[in-house]
C-alpha cells in the first residue's frame, strides 16, 4: 500500500501531511463536516506505508488521513485510538509533539 507524503518546515518544526494514495483529491462529507484531501497539502512523494511511518516518528506535527496510514500508526502506538476521528468512515488523526 502506498501513501502520499508532503514534508514542510514550520519554524523549527517539520510538518508531515500524509494520506492513503487513493484518497488524494477526494472530498469527504459527514453531516456538516466537509474535509478535502487537497493535493496542495498532501501531495508530495508516493512512498510505502512503512516509509511514511518512519517519518511520522521523526516529525513534530503530523496530519494523516486514510485507513492504511492511520491503522499502521495505531499499531505502532504513535496515535491513541481515542484521538482518531472518522469522516465518512475514513480515519483522520493528528499528532503534535511540543
- The percent of residues above 70 in pLDDT, for the chain, comes to 100
The CATH number of domain 2-96, selected from 3.40.50.1820, 3.40.605.10, 3.30.1860.10, 1.10.357.10 = 3.30.1860.10
The answer to whether the pTM exceeds 0.75 is yes
Looking at the predicted structure, is the pLDDT value of residue 10 above 90? no
5-11: long-range contacts, CB 8 A cutoff, minimum separation 24: 5/44, 5/45, 5/46, 5/47, 5/51, 5/52, 5/55, 6/41, 6/42, 6/43, 6/44, 6/45, 7/44, 7/55, 7/59, 10/61
Residue 37 pLDDT > 90: yes
| Overall average pLDDT of the 84-90 stretch | 97
- What average pLDDT does range 69-86 have in this prediction? 97
pLDDT at 41: 97
Amino acid at each position: 500500500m502506498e501513501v502520499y507524503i508532503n514534508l514542510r518546515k514550520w519554524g523549527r518544526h517539520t510538518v508531515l501531511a500524509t494520506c492513503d494514495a487513493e484518497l488524494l483529491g477526494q472530498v469527504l462529507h459527514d453531516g456538516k463536516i466537509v474535509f478535502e484531501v487537497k493535493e496542495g497539502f498532501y501531495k508530495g512523494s508516493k512512498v510505502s506505508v512503512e516509509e511514511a511511518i518512519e517519518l511520522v516518528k521523526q516529525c513534530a506535527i503530523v496530519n494523516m488521513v486514510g485507513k492504511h496510514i492511520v491503522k499502521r500508526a495505531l499499531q505502532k502506538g504513535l496515535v491513541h485510538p481515542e484521538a482518531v476521528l472518522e469522516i465518512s468512515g475514513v480515519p483522520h488523526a493528528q499528532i503534535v509533539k511540543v
